[in-house]
Structure 1
Amino acid sequence: MDYGALGDGTTDDSNAISNAWQGMCGEEEPATLLIPSNKIFLVKRLNLNGPCKAPNVGIKIFYVNGLTIEADGGIIDGNGSTWWEKCRTCRRPTSLRFHSCNGLTVKSLSMSNSPGAHISVNGCNGALFSHININSPPKSPNTDGFDIANSKNIVIQDSTLATGDDCIAINGGSSYINATRLFCIGGHGISIGSLGRNKSYETVEEVHVQNCSFIGTTNGARIKTWTGGSGYARKIMFEEIILQDAKNSIIIDQYYGIKTPSEKTINLNCSPFGCFNITLDQIYIVSSKSSKHVYAFCKNIVNGTIGSTVPKVSCQ
């Protein structure tokens, strides 16, 4: 509003928002552009360009319904290498955050080198992300492609996600999440969780991952929970998955946070309470090194169904 926006829903506020962006970019200290939630802004074609002097520019979009973002060339570069080098253990900013945004559409967006996660989706109902291209080094710490929490009816499709952490992390309070036709390169694969940290109660359900490729990832399909937590992760399906040089292909880890290195390509390590109704079928995984064998481990599976699998899975 300081730059002349009226927010009446009929006046073109594009120039005011563009000028506010440039003002933020000119700051010497970390800066945030705030667009008030109690106004209606008419925006036509809007280009938000850098470079910025501000050392930390995060894009936060809160409480906006029916928003469509369709990028036309260009890239959001988080310049994360300065953060990775000086602060590997501190909490680093997310490049693009959507909070309580319903009916969201984001298309043809390219991002790289986020200090932390690239895209955060929190408290949203109904979102479509398509043709998203994320490119960060495989050793960049905690650079998740998508962090999803407390959200439902989220679709991520037709995208390439090269990261240093989870390609997609689906956290507590999330349901009806669909990921399809994705290339996950480097990083840690697609993960449910982690759930139940600090003995919390968390739930995830109705997740469908289909026709996705994991290339050079540490993990493929993964569910991870902390000991002492409660809740459930249920109605989760991974199908039509292609693995190429993935180390740990299929994992259920109910001891997350406890260092248990494993070379097992299928590792279903459930707590004494058990994992229920797990189905494994039409799985064929061999080592990319001809001299090496692949192994499976399975513990505390209750009422599970094991069909055709290579390697063979035998539960304790």
Structure 2
Amino acid sequence: MQGFIALALILGFVSPCLCTRMNVGTENAIYNVIQYGARGDGITDDLQAFVSAFSSACKAAGMSTLIIPAGKKYMVSKANFSGPCSARVLIQLEGQIVAPSRAASKSKLYWISVKYVNELTIDGNNKGGFHGGGRTWWQCPTCDRPKMLFFHSCNGLNVRNLRILNSPKSHVSVNMCNHSTFSHISINSAAASPNTDGFDISRSNNISIENSKIRSGDDCIAVNGGSFFINITRVTCGPGHGISIGSLGRNRLNDKVSDVHIRNCTFIGTTNGARIKTVPGGSGYARQITFEQIILSNVKNPIIIDQGYKISPTDTSVKVSSVTYRGFIGTSASKIAVNLNCSSPGCFNILLDQNNIVATQAGKKTSFFCRNAHGTVRNTFPNVSCLSS
């Protein structure tokens, strides 16, 4: 009994120390943009309130939460949120962040940029998001239209449950980021909006885009040079130009892309489905690319390799190899459902497996085209007999 009492007394002194140590670095400080002066009336520029609130959250110890309350529209003229941060920051974005009018815009390259912030989470809780006011910009294709969101050198990003509307140009740019996930993102712009890619990924590794819907006037997702281990899963695309690898080799660049896995995606009324596009004169490669379990509805070019993108096909040094198209099912709006237009060095190890692409219009037949394409066809309609082994 005396031993038990002694142990209880010891724990009584030690336990508070243990608890304190366990809590060190785990405090969650709360910062609200309203407390920093944000008006949320959709007219007043709330830029300084956002920058100040983020700066405080970034400098906190342990974890911090930046709250952007629901029920308000926050006009932000142009913002750059830059790290590194000492805290792991969660941004609860439940309000709407809106861009200024084109006449009042201060942005040329990007409207909102996030740079050098690791382990950042942005959660819209299916309420919040960004409105770029793109319709006034689309009427001026020669203007310096800003891209909407730019993530640069951010590792461990988790961006989820956001609504992103009407960017003047591309919606989300991911550059030099690693081990990051974008999920449950809704992107919506008109089919005729110019250059409004949903996602542009470049020089990034281990990026996942999943459970999202993208409506745009250009590529739903473009995977550009220097990108490896990209996973795109359960994405619905349309309208738009499909999911593209490239374009690669533009301006004679050496562009390399590999280990891209696109699975369980749906294309509705898009101009392309699964596309690889390279520009003559460039160099590099696109390899270990897999498109599988794809649903097509009235897609103009369901499967296309275009090695003469925007230029008449000529020899190119960008090598395309080890590309798999498996489990495509649905309808093609054009006669040519499979178009493998490779340069004279050829595309190699192309696999078409268990695909069934028929014409949208009843009574019509789908066909195929090959140029310097080498690979294997199994259980595929149309048969793509021009693919040489």
**TM-score using structure 1 length:** 0.87
For 2:183, the aligned partner's letter is S
Structure 1 residue matching 2:136: 3-state secondary structure: helix
- 1:185–1:216 Cα contact (<8 Å) kept: yes
- 1:149–1:171 Cα contact (<8 Å) kept: yes
Change (3 A) 1:38 1:98: closer
Equivalences for residues 54-73 of structure 1 within 5 A: 54-55=104-105, 58-72=111-125, 73=127
Q: What is the distance in 1 between the residues matched to 2:93 and 2:241? A: 35
Structure 2 residue matching 1:308: 3-state secondary structure: strand
- 2:150–2:173 Cα contact (<8 Å) kept: yes
Q: What is the distance in 1 between the residues matched to 2:29 and 2:293? A: 49
For 1:273, the aligned partner's letter is P
Q: For residue 74 of structure 1, report the CA deviation from its aligned partner.
A: 3.0
Number of paired residues? 303
Partner of 2:79: 33
Partner of 1:96: 149
Deviations 1:187-236 (A, max 9, x none): 10000000001221110000000010000000000000011111100000
Partner of 1:4: none
Q: For residue 52 of structure 1, report the CA deviation from its aligned partner.
A: 5.6
- 2:96–2:131 Cα contact (<8 Å) kept: no
Alignment pair present for 1:82 and 2:82? no
Q: What is the distance in 2 between the residues matched to 1:82 and 1:300? A: 44
Superposed structure 1 runs of 4+ greater than 3 Å apart: 9-21, 23-26, 38-54
Q: For residue 77 of structure 1, report the CA deviation from its aligned partner.
A: 1.1
1:22 to 30, 33, 46: 46
- 2:85–2:118 Cα contact (<8 Å) kept: no
For 1:55, the aligned partner's letter is S
Equivalences for residues 232-247 of structure 1 within 5 A: 232-247=285-300
Structure 1 residue matching 2:83: 3-state secondary structure: coil
Partner of 1:312: 383
Equivalences for residues 32-51 of structure 1 within 5 A: 32-37=78-83, 40=86, 49-50=96-97
Change (3 A) 1:79 1:263: farther
Change (3 A) 1:18 1:269: farther
Return 5+ residue gaps in structure 2 as ranges: 1-26, 39-44, 51-75, 314-333
- 2:132–2:166 Cα contact (<8 Å) kept: yes
Deviations 1:219-269 (A, max 9, x none): 000000011111100000000000001010000011111268x85211000
1:125 to 178, 191, 196: 178
**TM-score using structure 2 length:** 0.72
Deviations 1:51-110 (A, max 9, x none): 565435611100000000100303311110111102x24442111110000000011011
1:266 to 335, 338, 352: 338
Partner of 2:356: 284
Q: What is the distance in 1 between the residues matched to 2:355 and 2:28? A: 57
Partner of 1:210: 263
Q: For residue 37 of structure 1, report the CA deviation from its aligned partner.
A: 2.8
- 2:305–2:342 Cα contact (<8 Å) kept: yes
Return 5+ residue gaps in structure 1 as ranges: 1-8
Partner of 2:42: none
Alignment pair present for 1:162 and 2:215? yes
Deviations 1:105-128 (A, max 9, x none): 011011111111110100001111
Structure 2 residue matching 1:277: 3-state secondary structure: strand
Identity among equivalent pairs (%): 51
Q: For residue 36 of structure 1, report the CA deviation from its aligned partner.
A: 4.7
Structure 2 residue matching 1:81: 3-state secondary structure: helix
For 1:266, the aligned partner's letter is V
For 2:115, the aligned partner's letter is F
Q: What is the distance in 2 between the residues matched to 1:263 and 1:228? A: 30
For 1:279, the aligned partner's letter is L
After superposition, the CA RMSD in angstroms is 2.7
Deviations 1:160-207 (A, max 9, x none): 111111010000000100001111011100000000012211100000
- 2:82–2:117 Cα contact (<8 Å) kept: no
- 1:213–1:241 Cα contact (<8 Å) kept: yes
For 1:297, the aligned partner's letter is F
Look at both structures and tell me which one has the larger radius of gyration over its CA atoms: 2
For 1:22, the aligned partner's letter is D
